[in-house]
């Protein structure tokens, strides 16, 4: 068994000097224990909630390469940057995650940059909550912007996409079908549509489709979506992308997303508390044991547990 993490002054000092080993151990503990999540929350929300930016798109769109450029851009402005790569499909194989690290390795020795892939199999059952608290931990550690790289196709990813305050959806020329096929929920979180690999043919056609989509959305919701072109290899368009993301972070949309994440997270903490201190003791206690014995003998039915629980609280 590994030593449990104690959230004391030594821990705080290590985290706030962005000690990689302590950060990594803390993130692992989040994934393992709901109790720890509650303790950690008391610490890390003592600083302003994090500004997180999602980078979402199909595998191979160039998200990691683009992040490598974005990191460079933000580092030049003196900002500390963390990247959380959440890719459920690649976690099993490990392949793509390794690729992500490779593409961002320009910054491997820079202690103002932190890159980590997140497991999608946490005890909490929801990778979005793990991502949310991990992003806040990184904010507490002094990272100015947290990027969340995710694929954003399946239902699971949709939740992750919603964790970010703002998101860039990364498209590639010739991927018009993807625009049609993408889940509407994912499209909705796109504050910026980035056409990456703008060195390839078909940019103009894709740009038209995306501008129409952006226009429709603006008519319907009043929210502005910026369409921009990037070349993640040369770095062309990266400054514009970053500018669009920073503008989006100031929008009412971003504030609303942050508020709803905070709310959902508070509810999760309450659920953990209820489970640990009310549910578990009841189930394992005298009344719970008696109830299950009756249930087995057919003397009671499942829904009666609710009444038994209520009576036990009186
Ligand atoms: N031609 C071209 N290739 C790119 C560009 N951006 C990324 N790539 C290449 O696309 C491949 C996939 O990139 P990667 O960043 O791993 O994509 P991810 O799966 O979305 O993270 C790599 O071989 C990159 O070198 C670009 O702007 N132009
Ligand atoms: Mg990648």
Task: Give the range of the structural domain holding residue 159, as residue numbers without chain letter.
Answer: 46-250
22 band by pLDDT with thresholds 50, 70 and 90: very high
Ligand nearest to the CA of 103: 1
Please, what's the b/e burial string for 218-248 (b: 16 or more CB within 10 A of its CB; e: otherwise)? Answer: eeeeeeebbbbbbbbeebebbeebbebbeeb
Q: Is residue 50 part of a domain?
A: yes
* Unique residue bearing structure tokens 């990247």: 83
Nearest residue (CA) to ligand 1, atom 14: 62
Q: How many domains does the chain have?
A: 2
Q: Decide if pLDDT at 120 tops 70.
A: no
Do 216 and 272 have their domain in common?
no
Q: Evaluate whether 196 touches 231 at the Cβ level (below 8 Å).
A: yes
* Unique residue bearing structure tokens 């100031």: 250
- Residue 161: strand, helix, or coil: helix
95 band by pLDDT with thresholds 50, 70 and 90: very low
Q: Tell which wins on pLDDT, 159 or 297.
A: 297
Do 276 and 245 have their domain in common?
no
| pTM (2 d.p.) | 0.87
- Residue 193: strand, helix, or coil: strand
Residue 2 alpha carbon to ligand 2 centre in Å: 31
pLDDT tens per residue, range 44-54: 998 887 789 99
Do 52 and 184 have their domain in common?
yes
Residue 106 CA: distances (Å) to CA of 68, 99, 173: 7, 13, 26
Nearest residue (CA) to ligand 1, atom 24: 62
Ligand nearest to the CA of 237: 1
Residue 155 burial by CB count (10 A; 0-12/13-18/19+): exposed, middle or buried? exposed
Q: Decide if pLDDT at 91 tops 50.
A: no
CB-proximal residues (5 Å) to ion ligand 2: 63-64, 100
Number of C-beta neighbours around residue 134 at 10 A: 28
Residue 70 alpha carbon to ligand 2 centre in Å: 14
Pocket of ligand 1 (CB under 6 A): 57, 59-65, 99-100, 103, 196-197, 199-200, 231-233
Do 219 and 305 have their domain in common?
no
90 band by pLDDT with thresholds 50, 70 and 90: very low
């Amino acid at each position: 068994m590994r030593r449990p993490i104690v959230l004391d002054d030594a821990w705080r000092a290590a985290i706030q000097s962005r000690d990689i080993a302590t950060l990594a151990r803390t993130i692992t503990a989040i994934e393992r224990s709901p109790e720890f999540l509650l303790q950690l929350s008391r610490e890390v929300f003592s600083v302003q909630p994090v500004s997180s930016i999602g980078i979402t798109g199909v595998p191979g769109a160039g998200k990691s390469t683009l992040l490598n450029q974005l990191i460079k851009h933000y580092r030049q402005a003196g900002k500390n940057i963390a990247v959380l790569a959440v890719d459920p499909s690649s976690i099993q194989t490990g392949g793509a995650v390794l690729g992500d690290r490779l593409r961002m390795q320009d910054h491997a020795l820079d202690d103002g940059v932190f890159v980590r892939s997140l497991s999608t199999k946490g005890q909490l059952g929801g990778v979005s909550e793990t991502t949310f608290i991990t992003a806040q931990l990184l904010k507490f550690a002094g990272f100015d912007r947290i990027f969340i790289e995710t694929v954003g196709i399946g239902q699971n990813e949709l939740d992750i996409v919603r964790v970010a305050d703002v998101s860039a959806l990364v498209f590639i020329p010739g991927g018009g079908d993807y625009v049609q096929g993408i889940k509407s929920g994912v499209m909705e979180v796109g504050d910026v549509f980035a056409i990456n690999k703008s060195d390839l043919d078909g940019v103009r056609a894709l740009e038209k489709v995306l501008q129409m989509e952006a226009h429709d959305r603006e008519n319907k919701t009043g929210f502005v979506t910026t369409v921009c072109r990037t070349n993640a290899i040369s770095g062309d368009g990266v400054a514009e992308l970053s500018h669009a993301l920073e503008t989006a972070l100031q929008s009412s949309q971003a504030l609303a997303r942050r508020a709803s994440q905070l709310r959902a997270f508070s509810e999760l903490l309450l659920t953990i508390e209820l489970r640990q201190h009310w549910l578990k003791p009841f189930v394992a206690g005298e009344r719970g044991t008696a109830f299950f014995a009756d249930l087995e003998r057919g003397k009671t039915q499942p829904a009666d547990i609710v009444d038994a629980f209520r009576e036990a609280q009186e």
